């Protein structure tokens, strides 16, 4: 485990892990309610950007309940899903026994350089105690020429979407979250706010050793899917 010193505005690692352990049983249901089921489509797009197929080896970090790992496995890749929350992994394990599920820390991956054809993270980078370290670890374990893909919520800059975003994240999500876990669903909007905007995240990925960094915005600009290629 890494030291766990949080960046400003984040919770310490131990608290993030405990929070996901607590909400594991409701996590998938809350995702479907909060996104009207659209999160599956976003994960499919992220998986497409990895370009994996049969013969590929892929790692999904902060895999949680494993939906992005499952998308990668559907494309024929041999997949490892890694997370530090045991309870989230228990839900993932029931979804696809072909996937190797591993408890571990995304900031300190126990893999050699260049082991994977693709490395992904879905809605997890925002929770990293140290984003640059997490991105550097993802780039390190990707093969030269391999793909790194980051799927994340992003804050829109301009009205009217920014107004809608505020209403949704500051009022609706915490209200819905009170039904499940108040702390977790108050943490969600604050973690989105402090996360870099799309262009800034692209620059951080380039600094982590990735070339050809691009991103697509979807869901009216509140979901960003970044991809890059590990520098040779």
Ligand X SMILES: C[S@@+](CC[C@H](N)C(=O)[O-])C[C@H]1O[C@@H](n2cnc3c(N)ncnc32)[C@H](O)[C@@H]1O
63 in contact with ligand X (CB under 6 A): yes
State how far the Cα of 201 lies from the Cα of 220, in Å rounded to an integer.
Answer: 18
State how far the Cα of 97 lies from the Cα of 75, in Å rounded to an integer.
Answer: 15
Sheet holding 78-83, edge to edge: 100-103, 78-83, 57-61, 116-122, 142-153, 223-230, 210-218
- Nearest-approach distance from CB 4 to ligand X, in angstroms: 9
> In the window 148-187, what residues touch ligand X (CB under 6 A)?
none
- Nearest-approach distance from CB 97 to ligand X, in angstroms: 18
- For residues 76 to 105, the per-residue mask of contacts with ligand X, x marking binding by CB under 6 A and - elsewhere, is -------xxx--x----------------x
Residue closer to ligand X, measured from CB, 17 or 226: 17
Q: Name which position in 10, 52, 72, 122 contacts ligand X (CB under 6 A).
A: 122
**Strand 57-61 versus strand 78-83 pairing type:** parallel
- Nearest-approach distance from CB 213 to ligand X, in angstroms: 20
Structure token digits, residue 1: 């485990």
Q: Name which position in 59, 68, 73, 79 contacts ligand X (CB under 6 A).
A: 68
Provide the β-strand partners of residue 58: 79, 118
Q: Count of CB atoms within 10 A of residue 8's CB?
A: 5
Residue closer to ligand X, measured from CB, 32 or 144: 32
Question: Total number of residues binding ligand X (CB under 6 A)?
Answer: 20
Give the residue nearest to ligand X (CB).
64
Structure token digits, residue 74: 């559907």
- Which of 70-78, 124-132, 168-176, 199-207 is the region at the interface with ligand X (rule: CB under 6 A)? 124-132
Collapse the DSSP code of 179 into the 3-class scheme (helix H, G, I; strand E, B; otherwise coil) and give the result: coil
- Nearest-approach distance from CB 91 to ligand X, in angstroms: 10
CB 186 within 8 A of CB 205: no
State how far the Cα of 91 lies from the Cα of 74, in Å rounded to an integer.
Answer: 18
107 in contact with ligand X (CB under 6 A): yes
Provide the β-strand partners of residue 83: 103
Q: Name which position in 101, 116, 128, 215 contacts ligand X (CB under 6 A).
A: 128
34 in contact with ligand X (CB under 6 A): no
State how far the Cα of 139 lies from the Cα of 206, in Å rounded to an integer.
Answer: 10
Residue closer to ligand X, measured from CB, 63 or 155: 63
Contact footprint for ligand X (CB under 6 A): 16-17, 20, 62-64, 67-68, 83-85, 88, 105-107, 122-124, 127-128
């Amino acid at each position: 485990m890494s030291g766990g010193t949080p960046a400003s505005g984040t919770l310490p690692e131990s608290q993030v892990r405990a929070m996901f352990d607590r909400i594991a049983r409701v996590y998938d249901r809350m995702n479907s309610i909060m996104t009207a089921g659209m999160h599956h489509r976003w994960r499919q797009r992220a998986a497409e950007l990895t370009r994996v197929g049969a013969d590929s080896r892929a790692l999904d970090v902060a895999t949680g309940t494993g939906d992005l790992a499952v998308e990668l496995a559907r494309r024929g890749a041999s997949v490892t899903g890694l997370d530090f929350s045991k309870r989230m992994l228990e839900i993932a394990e029931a979804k696809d026994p072909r996937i190797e599920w591993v408890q571990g820390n995304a900031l300190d991956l126990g893999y050699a350089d260049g082991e994977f054809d693709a490395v992904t993270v879905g809605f997890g980078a925002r929770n990293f105690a140290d984003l640059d370290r997490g991105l550097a670890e993802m780039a390190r374990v990707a093969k030269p020429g391999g793909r790194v893909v980051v799927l994340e919520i992003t804050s829109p800059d301009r009205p009217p979407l920014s107004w809608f975003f505020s209403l949704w994240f500051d009022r609706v999500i915490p209200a819905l979250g009170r039904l499940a876990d108040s702390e977790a669903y108050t943490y969600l909007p604050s973690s989105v706010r402090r996360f870099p905007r799309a262009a800034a995240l692209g620059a951080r990925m380039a600094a982590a050793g990735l070339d050809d960094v691009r991103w697509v915005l979807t869901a009216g600009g509140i979901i960003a899917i970044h991809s890059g290629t590990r520098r040779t």
